[in-house]
């Protein structure tokens, strides 16, 4: 949620900035008008309450005739206060409905544009290997090795599911251990969070209302399956005041994630590139506002270290403003080379959400005698499914086998 005080002070700057995210200025006008009406009615209520308090002290000192007049006046004042409070309740509801739709303004370093084509490639790392023989995609490779079974998964669960089997399972757990070891060495606390959360956690992280269509809800309950462990990790300190000296507080969450993929009908239907259920290791950081951009670069460096260690060719992309999600002020994508598709595709990303999430979740830190909102950041350390695909396709051999990256061999086959 944006800072209404800052918005009130400079609404035109917000209109320009949020216009880069394709947010409609007329909603900001409605928000400003509703905020002004709310504050005007609140001022009226405060004036009437002040009058009521003053008169209440004077009544015992007055004559009986004057007392009756003052008591009658207080009845009118009480009625006015009651009417204003009813108005304030409605205005507050309207204000909140409008405010929760407003995304986080993009940082000035974010490129303009409304699609992924407008994003800026910052650098390439590694060169796609020249593969001998016919290049196969992950599904042909996986079926040939008995690692992936989408046909039986479709029978069991429907489309966009897969059974992982044999060494694919060993490879998944090796990737998890590889990522967690690197993160733990850099101060991240390993966490296995709940995968079912309440609506407040979804709202607090900004997934509601913007991405509600992507989330699975348990029928008849205030319970939702997470699409990323960013949600329960952000909510870990919901409503808390953190020790400023303990910042940054970094967590590495491993979880299974669930997404409807409602907006991707007909896209990436082959294999397990875009599925309803997947595992990943997610980084999350609560940090001091003065350090959040430095922290953002640090999360990016961790993602690059992990990918470089695996030997995967990739590129770093600064995502365009119009392609950012609601909570992010800036986001980097790391896109790996997928030989089976002949192009770079998103593998991991990391975002700085500044104080957008902490304002919703009321997460502050103590600095001297005062408290301030923390900044929150998130980044994917390893998206297991897509990383499996990238390894299979980039390290495929002419005989259909897969060469395992050296860093994973001792984790897959210990001893």
Task: Indicate which residues carry an active-site annotation.
Answer: 259, 274, 346, 349, 386
271, burial (CB in 10 Å: exposed 0-12, middle 13-18, buried 19+): buried
3-state secondary structure of 158: coil
Structure tokens at 291: 């350090």
Contact 277, 258 (CB under 8 A): yes
Question: What residue has token string 């086998």?
Answer: 401
Q: Where do the DSSP E strands lie in 277-319?
A: 277-287, 314-318
3-state secondary structure of 126: coil
Rounded Cα–Cα distance for residues 273 and 72 (Å): 73
3-state secondary structure of 319: coil
Cα–Cα distances in angstroms (integers) from residue 21 to residues 38, 107, 134, 320, 378, in the given order: 27, 11, 42, 9, 20
Rounded Cα–Cα distance for residues 216 and 225 (Å): 5
Contact 14, 2 (CB under 8 A): yes
Rounded Cα–Cα distance for residues 68 and 79 (Å): 17
Rounded Cα–Cα distance for residues 108 and 94 (Å): 30
DSSP states of 201-220: HHHHTT-TTTTGGG--B-TT
HEC per residue, 306-339:
HHHHHCCCEEEEECCHHHCCCCCCEEEEEEEEEC
Structure tokens at 348: 């991991």
3-state secondary structure of 373: strand
């Amino acid at each position: 949620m944006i800072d209404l005080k800052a918005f009130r002070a400079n609404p035109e700057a917000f209109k320009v900035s949020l216009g880069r995210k394709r947010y409609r200025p007329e909603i900001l006008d409605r928000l400003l008008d509703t905020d002004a009406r709310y504050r005007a009615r609140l001022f009226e209520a405060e004036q009437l309450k002040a009058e009521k308090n003053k008169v209440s002290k004077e009544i015992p000192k007055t004559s009986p005739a004057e007392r009756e007049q003052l008591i009658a006046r207080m009845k009118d004042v009480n009625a006015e206060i009651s009417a204003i409070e009813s108005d304030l309740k409605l205005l507050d509801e309207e204000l909140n409905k409008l405010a929760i739709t407003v995304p986080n303004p993009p940082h000035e370093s974010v490129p303009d544009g409304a699609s992924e084509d407008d994003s800026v490639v910052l650098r390439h790392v590694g060169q796609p290997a020249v593969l001998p023989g016919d290049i196969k995609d992950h599904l042909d490779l996986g079926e040939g090795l008995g690692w992936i079974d989408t046909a039986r998964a479709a029978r069991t669960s429907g489309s966009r599911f897969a059974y992982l089997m044999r060494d694919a399972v060993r490879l998944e757990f090796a990737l998890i251990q590889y990522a967690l070891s690197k993160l733990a060495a850099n101060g991240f606390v390993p966490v296995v969070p709940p995968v079912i959360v309440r609506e407040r956690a979804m709202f607090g992280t900004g997934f509601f209302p913007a991405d509600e269509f992507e989330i699975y809800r348990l029928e008849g309950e205030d319970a939702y399956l997470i699409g990323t462990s960013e949600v329960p990790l952000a909510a870990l300190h919901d409503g808390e005041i953190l020790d400023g000296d303990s910042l940054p507080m970094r967590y590495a969450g491993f979880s299974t994630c669930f997404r409807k993929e409602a907006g991707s009908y007909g896209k990436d239907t082959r294999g397990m590139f875009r599925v309803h259920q997947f595992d990943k290791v997610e980084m999350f950081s609560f940090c001091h506002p003065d350090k959040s951009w430095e922290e953002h670069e640090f999360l990016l460096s961790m993602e690059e270290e992990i990918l470089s260690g695996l030997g995967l060719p990739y590129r770093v992309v600064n995502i365009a403003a119009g392609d950012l999600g609601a909570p992010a002020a800036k986001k980097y994508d790391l896109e790996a080379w997928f030989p089976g598709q002949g192009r770079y595709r998103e593998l991991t990303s990391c975002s700085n959400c500044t104080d957008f999430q902490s304002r919703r979740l009321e997460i502050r830190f103590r600095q001297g005698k005062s408290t301030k909102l923390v900044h929150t950041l998130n980044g994917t350390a390893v998206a297991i499914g897509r990383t499996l695909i990238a390894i299979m396709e980039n390290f495929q051999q002419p005989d259909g086998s897969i060469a395992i990256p050296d860093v994973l061999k001792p984790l897959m086959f210990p001893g």
